[in-house]
Amino acid sequence: MSRAAVARTYADALLDLAERDDGGAAWLEMLSEAAGLYESSPPFKAFLDTPRVSEKDKVAVLREAFAERYPENFVRFLTLVVRKRRQAMLPEIDEAARDLLNERTGRLHASVTLTTAPDEAFRQEIERELSRVLDREVDADFRTDPRLIGGMVVRAGDRVLDGSVRRRLQNLRRRLLETHTQPVG
């Protein structure tokens, strides 16, 4: 089974648990926090990934660390992920859960990359316009990449809308090279 399929299976189980626990969006936020902690904290990642620490000790530490912060069923989900040695997939499970929730609710997830972080009004304007263009309610997350120079890149489902200055410059360069290298005749 592919990593994407495994992540989707765990994500589906998480969403089912969240529904039974009336957790919904809160559970997605908790999953994002756990996945973010795994990605951004080298000591936490090393602790979960090392074979030197027993599964029992890892589960005990997770329970102690998250018991007061997260609902019991969510903590049990995290410990199951660790028991099955799938902790490295937490970011993929997080993404798959968001995609599944969007499918279930008829929404579309979009990743918007800009040169600088947008303010809240601009975020809402982008989401409204994307919803209009894509003919579905869009839930966007925003990233920054100064290499774009200007404009934005939008990834929504299997579509990529690249309106960046960098892409325009690359296209212009390609056209100039094609024109320059054609034989004169």
Domain ranges of the chain: 3-101, 107-180
CB distance 128 to 159 below 8 Å = no
Q: Which tops the pLDDT comparison, 86 or 175?
A: 86
Of 15-19, 28-32, 139-143, 159-163, give the lowest mean pLDDT range.
Answer: 159-163
Residues 105 and 122: their CA atoms lie apart, in Å, by: 24
The domain made up of 107-180 has a fold known as Glutaredoxin (3.40.30)
Q: Do domains 3-101 and 107-180 have the same CATH topology?
A: no
Domain 3-101 grouped into CATH 1.10.520.20? yes
Would you give the DSSP letter of residue 53?
Answer: S
Q: Which tops the pLDDT comparison, 21 or 116?
A: 116
Give the mean pLDDT of the chain: 87
Give the per-residue pLDDT at 75.
93
β-strands 138-144, 108-114 pairing:
parallel
Q: Could you give the angle at the alpha carbon of 178 between the alpha carbons of 160 and 182, nearest 5°?
A: 155
Residues 53 and 100: their CA atoms lie apart, in Å, by: 33
User: Reading across the β-sheet that carries 159-162, which strands appear in turn?
Assistant: 138-144, 108-114, 152-156, 159-162
